């Protein structure tokens, strides 16, 4: 293969970039300044990493003794959050990934009738903090949480989609 003068310069420049200590090879998670809130303000993904986009996950049935397709079968926001994140954790594990590889999360919360139609953010956080920001799993994703009018089932209060990076 014959290289032109420009190709050699570009190849040399690329080699210098790769050899430079400032060239990020790891995922960088930026904390929210002066905050202990358990999300990242931003996450940087270095070149060459593979992103994995998981579709939205909805809650599994939490109480099989409750009437099928009833709100009681799925539980409150915290119960649904734990169920959804457990499902995501299992799906990631099957792909050779973990919750520590999650870099972005989008959370869709329906207003809880038991909370006057307002989303139960505290309930969501009660489930979320079992999976993120723990001693065993300190990696925090960037995250958005929003209240939506409804999800695929009137009994769902939570749907979560994540993006992970393959280490």
Q: Is the dihedral of CA 27, 33, 36, 41 positive or negative?
A: negative
**pLDDT given for residue 84 in this prediction:** 98
pLDDT attached to residue 23: 54
pLDDT at 25: 79
| Domains of the chain: total | 1
Give the domain extent around 86. Answer: 24-166
> Is residue 77 a part of any domain in this protein?
yes
CATH code, domain with 50: 3.30.1330.40
* Alpha carbon separation from 109 to 10, 121, 127, 133 (Å, rounded): 48, 8, 13, 21
Residues of the chain falling short of pLDDT 70? 1-24
Asked, for residue 90, whether it belongs to a domain, the answer is: yes
Is residue 113 situated within a structural domain?
A: yes
User: pLDDT tens across 63-110, in order?
Assistant: 999 998 899 999 999 999 999 999 999 999 999 999 999 999 999 999
Kindly report the pTM of this predicted structure: 0.84
């Amino acid at each position: 293969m014959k290289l032109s003068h420009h190709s050699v310069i570009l190849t040399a420049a690329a080699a210098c970039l790769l050899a430079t200590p400032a060239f990020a090879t790891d995922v960088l998670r930026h904390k929210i300044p002066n905050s202990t809130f358990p999300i990242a303000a931003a996450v940087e993904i270095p070149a060459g990493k593979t992103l994995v986009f998981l579709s939205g996950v909805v809650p599994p049935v939490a109480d099989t003794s409750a009437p099928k397709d009833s709100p009681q079968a799925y539980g409150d926001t915290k119960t649904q959050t734990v169920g959804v994140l457990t499902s995501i954790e299992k799906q990631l594990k099957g792909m050779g990934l973990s919750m520590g590889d999650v870099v972005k999360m989008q959370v869709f919360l329906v207003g809880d009738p038991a909370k006057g139609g307002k989303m139960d953010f505290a309930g969501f956080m009660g489930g979320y903090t079992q999976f993120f920001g723990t001693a065993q799993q300190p990696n925090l994703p960037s995250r958005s949480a929003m209240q939506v009018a409804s999800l695929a089932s009137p009994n769902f209060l939570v749907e979560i989609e994540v993006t992970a990076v393959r280490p």
